[in-house]
Amino acid sequence: MALISLEDLEGLDDEQLDDDITDNPEPMDEEEGGRLLSHWQAVASAHQVSVPAEMTGPIQEMTRNSTQREPLPFANISCHEKMGEVLFEERVYPAGHWACVTRGEKLYEQSISMAFMKLMRFICKENTAGRFLGMTVPVISNVHMLDDGTSFEKDVETAFYLPAEFQSNPPQSSDSDVTIVYREPIRVFARTFFGTTNEETVSRQIHLLWEILGLRDDLRSDRYIVAAYENPGVPRRRNEIWFIRRDLVP
């Protein structure tokens, strides 16, 4: 199947594309499914990522169930503003089970894209529960820094918090690359940004938040988290950069 051009992609109404599908509970026909796959392929091609035809089923399933997205629970500790602009928020996220995939592709965006396709298959019935699991937002990527403090390590872990229904009895994946990991609570400083996420844009956001915070010993500088709230087809997707506190207590 030929990829649609980036110009064609910019002309697509993403909300209308979702509405056309989610308003119809019946299975998609071949033409409709092909249109959706082409949309994802075009977005991925801009990041030098290939979306294979076998992703058609998971993409359709995720689109049909796009309303089944639980927000990741958290406690808001504080919000820091300047002249009406939110600079960052301090939050605590609870302990729980996460589905995780680690990839080490040439580019950061390739690693997170390849990892998320594996997570999509896990969510869409390739699991021991034998059913669509639903998902939570945001999907997070753990970025580790090299010793120079400015470059990313090649391996990037992408993960999502399992929905509440599955926290006490997590289903397992048929793919050994998808692991279910229990993690303790985490306290973060979170700052919102919009647009694509690649090594350049994420590095810029890390630098900006350090400028706001100044030098602090209570925050890790060897690891950061990128949180994505929307799918890659959204033109101004909402993201956050998370700085991790070394301890839960102030």
Q: Are 29 and 100 within one domain?
A: no
Q: Are 80 and 108 within one domain?
A: yes
Contact 131, 125 (CB under 8 A): yes
Domain of residue 109: give its range. 70-245
The structure tokens listed for 249 are 């207590």
Whether 233 has a pLDDT exceeding 70, the answer reads no
Q: Are 183 and 141 within one domain?
A: yes
Q: Which of 16, 37, 64 is the last residue of a domain?
A: 64
The structure tokens listed for 60 are 């359709």
Burial classification of residue 65, based on how many CB atoms lie within 10 Å of its CB (0-12 exposed, 13-18 middle, 19 or more buried): middle
Q: pLDDT per residue over 155-200, tens digit each?
A: 999 999 999 999 999 999 999 999 999 999 999 999 999 998 999 9
**Would residue 166 be called left, alpha or beta, if left means φ above 0 and alpha means ψ between -120 and 50 degrees?**
alpha
How much is the pLDDT for 12? 37
Q: pLDDT per residue over 53-102, tens digit each?
A: 677 667 777 777 766 689 999 999 999 999 999 999 999 999 999 999 99
Q: Are 144 and 54 within one domain?
A: no
The structure tokens listed for 233 are 């087809």
Q: Are 122 and 189 within one domain?
A: yes
Q: Which of 64, 82, 101 is the last residue of a domain?
A: 64
Residue 138, in any domain of the structure: yes
Q: Are 101 and 56 within one domain?
A: no
Number of domains in the chain: 2
> Of 158, 164, 149, nearest to 178 (Cα)?
158
Burial classification of residue 186, based on how many CB atoms lie within 10 Å of its CB (0-12 exposed, 13-18 middle, 19 or more buried): middle
164 vs 45, more confident: 164
Q: Are 31 and 124 within one domain?
A: no
pLDDT category at 49 given cuts 50, 70, 90 is confident
Q: Are 79 and 196 within one domain?
A: yes
Residue 250, in any domain of the structure: no
Neighbours of 98 (CB within 10 A): 18
Q: Are 161 and 201 within one domain?
A: yes
Q: Are 52 and 135 within one domain?
A: no
Residue 1, in any domain of the structure: no
> Of 154, 217, 219, 161, nearest to 190 (Cα)?
219
The structure tokens listed for 31 are 């033409």
Q: Are 75 and 55 within one domain?
A: no
Q: Are 131 and 54 within one domain?
A: no
Q: What is the CATH number of the domain that holds 139?
A: 3.20.80.10
How much is the pLDDT for 64? 77
Q: Which of 38, 64, 90 is the last residue of a domain?
A: 64
Q: How much is the mean pLDDT over the chain?
A: 83
Residue 58, in any domain of the structure: yes
Residue 75, in any domain of the structure: yes
Q: pLDDT per residue over 135-152, tens digit each?
A: 899 999 999 999 888 899
